[in-house]
Amino acid sequence: MTALPQLLVSTVLLGGIYALIAVGLTLIFGIMRVVNFAHGEFLMLGMYLAFWSFTLWGLDPYFLLVVAVPLFFAIGLGIYALVMRGVIHASHNVQIFTTVGLSTALQNVALVFWTGDFRFVRPWESSIVVRILGAAFNLSQVIAFAVALLFTLALFAFMKWTHAGRVMRATAQDGEAATLMGIDTDRVYRLAFAMGIACVGVAGVLVSPLYSVYPTAGLQFVLLAYVVVVLGGLGDMVGALLGALIVAAVEVIGSYVFGSAWKEVIYFVLFIAVLVFRPAGLFGQRGAEALGA
C-alpha cells in the first residue's frame, strides 16, 4: 500500500490542527460548562490578525504568536466581562442563544470591515514541501502540529501541577462547593474563558498560512472541534489531542478507504455512540460529564 506513509503523515498533521482548535474549546467547555458557539469566530479573528500583520508589516505569523497570546487573552477577558458573565449561571438555552448571537455578530463585523473576499497569508515557509519516505507535507503543517503539541502539554501541566489549575479543576467538579471553600469562581471562569480564547486565537494565527481567511472561515473547523471535545472528554487536554487524532484518522483513512462522502457519517456515528455509551468521552473519567452541572 504505497499511499500508507502519506495517509499516516496527513492524519498526524491534520490531527495537530484540530487539537490546536479544540484545546481552547475543551477548556471553556470543561470548566465553565458553556458550549461556546462563537469559538470558530475567534479562530477567524486570529486568522485575520495574521493576515493584516503579514500584509501591512510583513510580519511572519510565527513571530506574531508572542503578540497573539496576550492579545486574545485580553479579548477573552473583555468578552467575558461584557457577555459571558451575565449568562454563566443562566440555563443552557440562554447560553447557547448568547454564543450563537455572538458568533453571528462577529462574522458580520468581519464582513463589514474586511468584506467577504478570501485573503491569503503566504510566508516563505508555506511554500516549503518536505518529502520523507514517500510522504509529502507542508512545513507550515509541521509547525502547527508542534505548537499544538506544546500547547496541549503546557495546558495539561498547568491544570495538573499549578495551584491555579487545581482551583480550576475544583470549580469544574463542583462550582458550589468551590464557592463554599472560598474560591472566587467568577475569577476562575474569567481565567478559563480568556485562556480558551487565547488558545483558539493562536490556532487562527497558525492555520492562516494553510487555509484561506474569510469571515466564516471558523465554521469549517468548529463542528469538528465539538466532535473532538466529546470524544476526548470534557476539559481533558490530552483527551482533546487524542480525540483530534481519531477524527483526523477517520477523515483521512476513512475517505481513502470508503470515499469522502462517508467520512462525516463515520465520525458522527462515533460521536453519537460516545455520547450514548460513554458520555464522559473516550479518555475522560467516568461520571465527569455530570460533575459541576
Residues of the shown chain interacting with another protein in the complex, contacts defined by CB under 8 A: 2-3, 6-7, 10, 14, 17, 107-108, 111, 115-118, 120, 129, 136-138, 211-212, 214-216, 219-221, 223-224, 248, 251-256, 259-261, 264
Q: Hunting for cell 488558545 — which residue is that?
A: 199
Q: Hunting for cell 520523507 — which residue is that?
A: 132
Decide whether 150 or 223 has the Cβ nearer to another protein.
223
Cα 44 to chain centroid distance, Å, stands at 12
Q: Kindly state the smallest distance separating residue 123's Cβ from another protein, in Å.
A: 14
Beta-bridge partner residues of 138: 129
Decide whether 44 or 202 has the Cβ nearer to another protein.
44
Decide whether 2 or 93 has the Cβ nearer to another protein.
2
Q: Kindly state the smallest distance separating residue 190's Cβ from another protein, in Å.
A: 31
Q: Kindly state the smallest distance separating residue 156's Cβ from another protein, in Å.
A: 25
Decide whether 138 or 285 has the Cβ nearer to another protein.
138
Decide whether 54 or 80 has the Cβ nearer to another protein.
54
Nearest-angstrom CA–CA distance, 125 and 138: 8
Nearest-angstrom CA–CA distance, 57 and 123: 12
Decide whether 45 or 288 has the Cβ nearer to another protein.
45
Question: Which of 208, 255, 272 minimizes the C-alpha distance to 17?
Answer: 208
Q: Kindly state the smallest distance separating residue 275's Cβ from another protein, in Å.
A: 19
* 99 and 110 Cβ atoms separated by less than 8 Å: no
Helices 219-232 & 39-57 angle (0-180, nearest 10) = 130
Instruction: Give the CA distances from residue 4 to residues 35, 86, 134, 258, in Å, rounded to whole numbers and listed in that order.
Output: 36, 50, 9, 15
Q: Kindly state the smallest distance separating residue 62's Cβ from another protein, in Å.
A: 19
Helix (H, G, I), strand (E, B) or coil at 132: strand
Helices (H), the chain: 4-32, 39-57, 65-82, 92-114, 139-161, 163-173, 175-180, 185-207, 219-232, 237-249, 255-258, 263-277
Q: Kindly state the smallest distance separating residue 216's Cβ from another protein, in Å.
A: 4
Decide whether 90 or 146 has the Cβ nearer to another protein.
146
Q: Kindly state the smallest distance separating residue 13's Cβ from another protein, in Å.
A: 9
Q: Which amino acid type is present at position 68?
A: A
